[in-house]
Amino acid sequence: MKIAMVCYPTFGGSGVVATELGKALASRGHEIHFITYNTPVRLGSFKSGIFYHEVRVSDYPLFDYPPYELVLASKMVEVIKDHDIDILHVHYAIPHASAAITAKKILAEEESDIPIVTTLHGTDITLLGKDVSFEPVISYAINKSDTVTAVSEDLKKETNKLFGVNKKIEVVPNFFCPSHIEIEADEEFRKCIAPNSEPILTHISNFRPVKRVKDVILVFEQVLKQKECRLLLVGDGPDRASAEHLCREKGLESKVTFLGKVKNPIEPLMISDVFILPSESESFGLAALEAMAVGVPVIATNAGGLPEVVIEGKSGFLSDIGDINSMAYGVQTILKDDHTFSEFKSSTLECAQRFRIDSVLPKYLNIYNQLTSEK
């Protein structure tokens, strides 16, 4: 089967999932064509069955803003025609699904049809969905897609609530690839962060307000009152400067490491003991799943799709948004003693197995096969 995969090429969850999905499909003999404006960060070296098509926007003086969606639609048409694509799988409603609808209409003029699978990842619904100016386009893109999937039950519910959707939405959760986490922990790296073998609390995000990075620091401060530990903050974004300022204000800078962006978040997770994700909203929480996949218990908020990923008391604990004391207590419970910590690590690994790619991939293949047989 030949599949065109359209996604953002960045570190965000949607780009990661789309790229890993494409790689997994290619390893099973399918031909995957990535269409985006840059090489996806998780793509790695090219292998058999994987191709990349760059969307280049010309700097034409007529436009105040580059018309990315129009160029993207044209590139989709080109790739579909030149490579006889069977399925167009787009990640995000706008601009990807809306561009796909335009491409489908153009191809229809030539009596060619292409099934469109649209996967909703969250921000296109929970953020853009609250802007009424986007609602007609998002609703149209969803309704005109041949199949729509969402990464969690919560996101499906939010989509149905916010938009005029008459399309059945199928939940296909995010996943992790066992081969991606088969690396050794870097003990020198760990010693650099925690020279006296202190437990390491970790947070990974894009440091946007919705991630509530300051809450991570306040939780860490509370935990320090009971147990010596270290904090590892991975990522970058608009809230990094204020987070660094809060660390200095609290006198914590010697115990906190700001690592910045990393290409492979599994590396810092391999030296971590507890993962903290105090977000206001998470449609799924891929960072939490990746932590669980390497046996790191998660302290998260009872928000969005996180309760579908983190199992209370087994793979971590869930708290109300902004409840610093509850989250700190959860960390202290996990780190109470070696026996408790070991039990949490084991049960966390067990809970993560629900989301192995070999459990999720058949759901996408069933969708593809159904659409191509109908075609």
* Per-residue model confidence as pLDDT tens digits over 240-273: 999 999 999 999 999 999 999 998 899 999 999 9
Residue 15: the pLDDT is 85
Looking at the fold, whether 303 and 237 belong to one and the same domain comes out as yes
CB 301 within 8 Å of CB 278: yes
Looking at the fold, whether 18 and 112 belong to one and the same domain comes out as yes
Residue listed under structure tokens 């579909």: 80
Looking at the fold, whether 164 and 230 belong to one and the same domain comes out as no
* pLDDT > 80? residue 54: yes
Residue 129: the pLDDT is 54
Find all residues with CB under 8 Å of 172, minimum gap 6, and list them: 119, 149, 150, 151, 360, 363, 364, 367
pLDDT band at 63 (very low <50, low <70, confident <90, very high): low
Task: State residue 120 phi and psi, 5-degree precision.
Answer: -90, 130
Looking at the fold, whether 237 and 276 belong to one and the same domain comes out as yes
* pLDDT > 80? residue 99: yes
Please state, in angstroms and rounded to a whole number, the distance separating the CA atoms of residues 167 and 140. Answer: 10
The pLDDT of 294-299, averaged and rounded, is: 98
150 DSSP β-pair partners: 120, 171
Looking at the fold, whether 344 and 232 belong to one and the same domain comes out as yes
Looking at the fold, whether 39 and 92 belong to one and the same domain comes out as yes
Give tens-digit pLDDT for 163-222. Answer: 877 889 999 999 999 988 888 889 999 999 999 999 999 999 999 999 999 999 999 999
- Percent of the chain exceeding pLDDT 70 equals 95
Residue 130: the pLDDT is 61
For all residues of the chain together, what is the average pLDDT?
92
Looking at the fold, whether 328 and 369 belong to one and the same domain comes out as no
* pLDDT > 60? residue 353: yes
Residue 47: the pLDDT is 82
Looking at the fold, whether 160 and 29 belong to one and the same domain comes out as yes
Looking at the fold, whether 221 and 111 belong to one and the same domain comes out as no
Residue 71: the pLDDT is 92
Question: CA angle, corner 211, sides to 157 and 276, nearest 5?
Answer: 100
Please state, in angstroms and rounded to a whole number, the distance separating the CA atoms of residues 375 and 361. Answer: 21
Please tell me which residue, 370 or 58, carries the higher pLDDT value: 370
pLDDT band at 77 (very low <50, low <70, confident <90, very high): very high
Domain membership of residue 117 as a residue range: 2-175+356-374
Looking at the fold, whether 249 and 186 belong to one and the same domain comes out as yes
Looking at the fold, whether 239 and 150 belong to one and the same domain comes out as no
Please tell me which residue, 45 or 75, carries the higher pLDDT value: 75
Question: Which DSSP symbol is given to 95?
Answer: I
pLDDT band at 39 (very low <50, low <70, confident <90, very high): confident
Please state, in angstroms and rounded to a whole number, the distance separating the CA atoms of residues 6 and 10. Answer: 12
Domain count, the chain: 2
pLDDT band at 124 (very low <50, low <70, confident <90, very high): low
The pLDDT of 313-317, averaged and rounded, is: 97
Here the CATH number for the domain that contains residue 39 is 3.40.50.2000
Looking at the fold, whether 202 and 333 belong to one and the same domain comes out as yes
